Amino acid sequence: MDFFEAQARAKKRTSRLVALFALAVIGTIVAGYFMTLLGLRNVHRYQSIRGSRYRDAAEYQPENRELWQPRVFFAVTLGTLVVVGGASLVKWQEFSAGGSAVAESVGGRAIDPHTTELGERRLLNVVEEMSIAAGIPTPAVFVLDGEPGINAFAAGLTTSDAVVTVTRGALDKLSRDELQGVIGHEFSHILNGDMKLNLELSSLIFGILVIGLAGRGILWAMTRGRIRGDGKNSGGVIIAAGAVGLMLLILGYVGYFFGKLIQAAVSRQREFLADASSVQFTRNPGGITGALKKIGGYALGSSLESHKSSTIGHFFFAQAFESNFGGLWATHPPLTERIRAIDPQFDGQMFNPPEKVDVAHESFRTAGYAPGAVRPPPIPKIANPPVLNPVAIVATIGTLAPANIAHAENLLAAVPPRLRDAARSPTEAPVLLYGLLLDGDAAMLERQRGIVATKAGPDARRILGELEPVLRSLGPEHKLPLLQLAAPALRNLPPTALAPFLDTLDELVHADGRISTFEFALQKILTRSLALGEKPGTATVQIYSFNAVVDEINVVLSALAHTASNPGVDAGAAFTAGAEQLKLLDGRLALLAPAACDFVRLDAALDKLATASGPIKQRLLVACAHVVGADGTILIAEAELLRAISAALDCPMPPLLAAA
C-alpha cells in the first residue's frame, strides 16, 4: 500500500462521489420542478372550482400548461440547493469537531488510559503498538458499552483527531490476534483517507434526506391539527400543505434511496481493501478471518442495538444494521466473500460458539457470557534490522509493516511502566514532556527545574522530581514514541491549560540559548498534532506547483544536510543527493548557509509546505530521505528531523529501524 497513491485515490473517489451526488441533486431538482407544476395546477384548479378570490391574483392560471416555466424552475432549484447545501454544511460542521465528537454522538465512552479492565487494557495496548508502528499520534479509544455485537469503527478528519471505537462484544469475544486484525482494518481507513470520505458521505446524504424529513414534518403537523386555514379557504390551505408535504416526502426519500445506493457501493469496495491491508499489516490472515467467522457464528453477529449509529453504518468494520432492498443498501460485502478474498480455501464453516444465547430474550451481557481470550505468542523480534535505503524510507509512510509492529512492541516494552502511565494522564503528560527536554548539564538542569516550578507550579515540579530518575534510563529512540502515547491526554487539555503548557515547553527549549534537533522535532510534531486535533478542517491543499515552494524546499533540504553530522559526507554532497531527486527544479536549488536555514526558517517553510499537494510532498520526502541517507547510515538526529518534517507535512512516518 502506497500512502500517496492511497491519498490520491481517496481524492478521486471524493470527486466522483461529489459528481454522483450532484447528479442525484439535479434529478431531485427536475423531479421537484415537475411535481411543483402538477401541484400548482391542482391548487389553481381547486381555486377555480371554489371561486376563490385569489384566482385572479394567481401567478400561474390553470390553463397555463407550458412545461417550461423559468420562474418556477429557478425557485425550485434555489430552494433545493439551499436546503441540501445548508443541511449538508450543518452536518459537516458537526463532524468537523473531530473523531471524538462522532464517537460521543453514538454513545461511545472514552476508555480511561489507566483502566485495569483486561479487555480494555488489551485494546489500548494494540492501538498504541499500531500507532507507534505507523508513526501517528495515538488515537483516542472509545467503547460502545451497550453493544454486545462484534464491531468497530474509526472516525476523524486527520490522523491527529482520529478515534478508534469498538463494541463491548468485540472486547469480550475476540482474541488478541482477532482484535489486532480488526484494529488493523480500522488503521487502514485512518491511513488511506477513508475517514474523511465517510464523513463527506454522511453529510451529503443527510442534506438530501432533510427534504424528506421536512415533508414528513409537514404531514405530521397536519395529522396533529397544527396546520389549518380560516373560513372558506381552510380546505385550500390544507390541500396545499398536504400536497407540499407529500411532494417533499417523496422527493427527499427518492433522493435518499439513490444516495444510500451510492454510499453502499463506495463503502463495499473500500472494505475489501481494508481487509487486505489488515493482513498486510499483521501478516496474520487468521486474525481478521477469525473475527469475521465469529461475527458469522454468533447470533447477534455485528449488529448494533442502538439506532444512534444508523447514520454512520458505513463507518463500521462489519454490517451494523439490516440491509434493505435485497442488500442494495448493504455497506459491507457478505462475510463469506470477505473471508474467501483472504482465504480462498474457506469451507463456509463459521465459528461455533461454546455457549448459546437466546438473543430474543436476553443479551450476551445478561447471559454472563464473556470468554477470556488467551494472548497469543508475540511477533518474533527483529534482532538486526536492516539499514533502510531512501526509497524504502518513504515507502514506509502511511504503512503498518509487521516489522514495524514488532519494533513498536520492542520500543513499548522497553519504556518503564511509570512513564507509560504518565503519558496517559492529562495531569502528568505535560510534565513528562518537560522531562524529555531536561539537559544533562547540572547548572542547566537546575535552571530548567526552576522554570517548571515557576511557570507550571509546585505540583508539576513534584511530578517532575518523581519522573526524573526513570527518565535517565530512557534511550533517545523512546522519546518520540512517548510523545505519540501522550497525544490523547494532551488533546484533552482545556484551552486554559494548553497555552501555559506550550509556553513552558517553549521556555525549556530555549533555556540554553540553542535548539537541538530533538527539541525542534518534539515541538513541531506536538504543535502540528494539537492544531489539527483542535481544528482538523484546517488541513487543506492550496499549492499545486513546485515553483511556488522552491525557496521552502531549499530551506528544508539545506537544514537536513547540515544536520548530517557524519564526517564521511559533507553537507554539500548530502544536499546534492537530495536535490538530484527534484528534476523539475534542476539548477534552482543551492545549499544555504546554516544561518539561512535555521529552525525558525525551517518551521515557517514547513508550515507553507503543509498546504502543498500530495505529489509535491512525496517528491520532497524522497529528496529528504536521500539527504539523510547519503552516507549509507541514518543517525538518530537525522531520523528525528526527518520524522518531524514528515509529520509537519501530514505524512506519518514510522520509527526508522536503522536509527534505533
Residue 392 identity? A
- Contact partners, residue 187, CB within 8 Å, separation at least 6: 130, 134, 154, 277, 278, 281, 400
Residue 153 has phi, psi (to 5 degrees) of -155, 160
Residue 558's SS3 state is helix
* Per-residue cell: 207: 442534506
Is the torsion defined by CA of 216, 218, 221, 223 positive or negative? negative
Q: Establish whether 362 is a catalytic residue.
A: no
User: DSSP assignment of 386-446, as one string?
Assistant: PPPPHHHHHHTTT---HHHHHHHHHHHHHS-HHHHHHHT-TTTHHHHHHHHT--SSHHHHH
CA-based max dimension of the chain: 100
CA pair distance 377, 24, nearest whole angstrom: 51
- The amino acid present at 80, given as its one-letter code, is T
Q: How many CA atoms lie within 13 A of 181 on its CB side?
A: 27
Any idea what the Cα angle at residue 232 is, between residues 227 and 237, rounded to 5°? 30
Buried b / exposed e over 292-325, threshold 16 CB at 10 Å, is bbbbbbbebbbbbeeeebebbbbbbbbbbbeeee
Residue 462 contacts by C-beta under 8 Å, 6 or more apart in sequence?
none
- What lies within 8 Å, CB to CB, of 340 at 6+ separation is 346
Contact 84, 49 (CB under 8 A): no
Angstrom distance (rounded) from CA 314 to CA 469 = 48
Q: How many helices (H) and strands (E) does the chain have?
A: 24, 4
β-strand partners of 316: 153
Q: Reduced to 3 states, what is the DSSP secondary structure of residue 353? A: coil
C-alpha distances (whole Å) from 608 to each of 169, 257, 540 are: 45, 42, 11
Spatial separation of the C-alpha atoms in residues 475 and 473, rounded to whole Å = 7
Strand partners, 109: 143
Annotated active-site residue in 178, 186, 409, 638 = 186
Q: How many residues are listed for the chain in this entry? A: 660
The residues annotated with a catalytic role in the active site are 186
